[in-house]
Amino acid sequence: MKNNNASFAAPGFAYALLDLCTLLIEGANEPLLAMGTDYRLQLVNPAAARWLGRPRKELLQESLLRYLPAGDSTALLAFLDRGLAGDTDGFSQAFELGGRSLLWTTQALRDPKGGIQGLLCRIEDRTEVDHIRRQVQDLQRSLQEKDFILGSRAQLAGTLLEATHGHTFVLDRALRFCAANRSYLEYTGRQIEDLMGRSLLECFPQAAATPLPEKIREAFGGRTLLLERVPCVLSDGNCNIQLTPLSYEGFVYGVLVVAEIVAD
């Protein structure tokens, strides 16, 4: 028999292509099946037999429609009909059948003259992948909602800060400034735009030599702390500093810092 040329195989290798195809079809983890234009099954690999719940010898020459999982298969049949018309070669589309999300990929089977004799179908169960994807989307949406709520609360805190006594500011979990009252800005000699979004230690590196950063991190554990007569960061003398966790539904998103200079 004369060997046919194949762009993906060396000349003379065509004799092994049938064995190679058999190996790929039989060893595939996903269901692979071929059907004629009348939906009758012409080829079923072991994974497809398990998916359809019948021995292969019982499936061959039977209609695929008889063994499809329960559910509305109207959209799937329309997709297969388009494949039989040559419109969806190599295309993939997901369908919900039997409570599973199934990704169907079809390729038209053609005779030497190009006429379509059937379809080769690959079915991939995407249920778990889609479930994980939805979980990730739900988590992202939840985080976005929480970010919005936390941002709104930080703005509210900034408004309320002006009514507080002492030098007052709010830090987020990265110790970045979220809000500061006028008293604190006057004390530090900074403008609000100089502080917002920047870390405490970036703005005031001298604070690293004090217990304040570590105590603030401790407050993120949910405890209100009172530091009495600790050295002031930007001036001589001592301060009393109260650290109050700010939380939402158990999540501590910030710490309110109120410092008052103690008279000697």
Q: Answer yes or no: do 247 and 162 share one domain.
A: yes
Domain boundary among 94, 125, 156: 125
Q: Answer yes or no: do 109 and 170 share one domain.
A: no
Is there a domain that residue 5 lies in? no
The closest of 164, 166, 175, 181 to 239, measured between CA atoms, is: 166
User: Does the pLDDT value for residue 82 go beyond 80?
Assistant: yes
Q: Answer yes or no: do 120 and 161 share one domain.
A: no
User: Does the pLDDT value for residue 219 go beyond 80?
Assistant: yes
Is there a domain that residue 116 lies in? yes
Cα separation, 225 vs 242, whole angstroms: 6
Is there a domain that residue 2 lies in? no
User: Does the pLDDT value for residue 200 go beyond 90?
Assistant: yes
Q: Answer yes or no: do 118 and 186 share one domain.
A: no
Give the predicted TM-score (pTM) of the model: 0.45
Contact present, 227 and 215 (Cβ < 8 Å): yes
Instruction: Give the domain range for residue 83.
Output: 14-125
Count other C-beta atoms under 10 Å from residue 106's C-beta. 23
Q: Answer yes or no: do 170 and 199 share one domain.
A: yes
Q: Answer yes or no: do 239 and 150 share one domain.
A: yes
Q: Answer yes or no: do 79 and 150 share one domain.
A: no
Cα distance between the two ends of the chain: 107
* pLDDT given at position 2: 40
The closest of 52, 56, 24, 28 to 42, measured between CA atoms, is: 56
Say which residue, 119 or 231, is predicted with more confidence.
119
User: Does the pLDDT value for residue 160 go beyond 80?
Assistant: no
Say which residue, 10 or 242, is predicted with more confidence.
242
CATH of the domain at 103: 3.30.450.20
**What mean pLDDT is predicted for residues 28-37?**
88
Contact present, 54 and 34 (Cβ < 8 Å): no
Per the structure, how many domains does the chain have? 2
* pLDDT given at position 149: 61
Is there a domain that residue 82 lies in? yes
Cα separation, 33 vs 130, whole angstroms: 23
Domain boundary among 97, 125, 153: 125
**What mean pLDDT is predicted for residues 124-153?**
71
**What mean pLDDT is predicted for residues 18-33?**
80
Contact present, 150 and 252 (Cβ < 8 Å): no
Share of the chain above pLDDT 70, in %: 82
Q: Answer yes or no: do 41 and 108 share one domain.
A: yes
Contact present, 258 and 166 (Cβ < 8 Å): yes
